[in-house]
Amino acid sequence: MKRQITLDINDQPYELTVENRTRLLDAVRYAAGLTGTKEGCSTGDCGACTVLMDGAPITSCLTLAVAAEGKKLTTIEGIGADGTLHPVQESFMELGGLQCGICTPGMILSSVALLEDNPQPTADEARWTLAGNLCRCTGYDKIIKAVLQAAEVQETAAS
């Protein structure tokens, strides 16, 4: 059965027509047209489909779109400001924390949420937090270095 819902994505209201069973991933990618969110495993294991719901990372392949009504959603398109990249995005680019890019939006959103909760994580804390985001390309070291560099950049900017 189709129904109309309104999702708050990146501080914009999106009026969408979805089925009761529509995954949030599909609502974001195909109904809202925000294709930065990626699909990998479709089973909640890889983290490629990660978005933030009220600031917390969730797997959008395992979340129903109708369950996201009334929540504040953030996708990779929503974390920069005024045409500039987020410090986490800058660090991933600068340190080579990405190759094919499939895992990258999810990695970055999980990292942004980590730095909100823990602005100066250790490498082990970053690895633990990103354990749910799988990367088949980079070997992870550059990703962790990018997260720690972004933490430094944000701290310097805040001081």
State the residues that interact with ligand FES by CB under 6 A: 39-42, 44-49, 59, 61, 98-104, 135-138
Neighbours of 141 (CB within 10 A): 13
- Nearest distance, CB of residue 158 and ligand FES, angstroms: 29
| CB closer to ligand FES out of 128 and 155 | 128
| CB closer to ligand FES out of 60 and 149 | 60
Burial 18-34 (b: 16+ CB within 10 A, else e): beeebbbbbbbbebbeb
* 3-state SS class at 126: helix
- Nearest distance, CB of residue 83 and ligand FES, angstroms: 24
Judge contact between 57 and 71, C-beta under 8 A: no
| CB closer to ligand FES out of 18 and 102 | 102
| CB closer to ligand FES out of 25 and 79 | 25
Long-range pairs, 93-97, Cβ under 8 A, ≥24: 94/146, 94/149, 95/142, 95/145, 95/146, 95/149, 96/138, 96/142, 97/138, 97/142, 97/143, 97/145, 97/146
- Nearest distance, CB of residue 117 and ligand FES, angstroms: 21
- Nearest distance, CB of residue 146 and ligand FES, angstroms: 12
